[in-house]
Amino acid sequence: MGLLRRSGFNQGTGDIEVTRLKHKGRRNTYILQLDGWALEVLNDYLDNVDNGDVMFPMSVSTHQDRFNERAAAQGLEGYTFHSLRHSRVTHIALRELERKGVVDELSLSKFAGHLKVETTRMYVHMAARHLAFKS
């Protein structure tokens, strides 16, 4: 089942509707705005591939297998497909800290699908430590 659909993607703004089925037993749909480089890559892909409304007609396990193959080819041992989820949440926290100096933990928690804000605070803490280390 495709959870990313062309009909839920704005190729101009980079807004994409994302659906998570495994969200503590309830469906969760939200809008994510792609960064410039990701928007460029996705637009290029969509210009060259026609899968109907489904963007990526592969199962989650196929995506995981391909990720694992490419990570191994790059020497990235120990990285998993699931680690991308954690990296994205940390990246959003980092970006918010750089732009605003503060993170809306409740919104980020909802985006990540965390039931407790305390779980999200771990990512915000990692982002803050990264910024402190850079300066």
How far is 72 from 38, CA to CA, in rounded Å? 22
pLDDT of 104: 92
Residues 64 and 81: beta-carbon distance below 8 Å: yes
Mean pLDDT taken over the chain: 84
pLDDT tens digits for 118-133?
A: 999 998 998 888 888 8
Of 124, 115, 123, 68, the C-alpha closest to 97 is 124
**Percent of the chain's residues with pLDDT above 90:** 27
Residues 55-62 have a mean pLDDT of: 80
Rounded to two decimals, the pTM is 0.56
Condensed to tens digits (0 to 9), the pLDDT of residues 10-53 reads 999 999 888 766 655 566 777 888 888 888 999 999 999 988 88
CB distance 18 to 29 below 8 Å: yes
61 pLDDT exceeds 70?
yes
Render pLDDT for 84-116 as a digit per residue (tens, 0 to 9).
778 888 989 998 999 999 999 988 888 887 888
Q: Is the pLDDT of residue 9 over 60?
A: yes
In whole angstroms, give the CA distance from residue 51 to residue 84.
Answer: 24
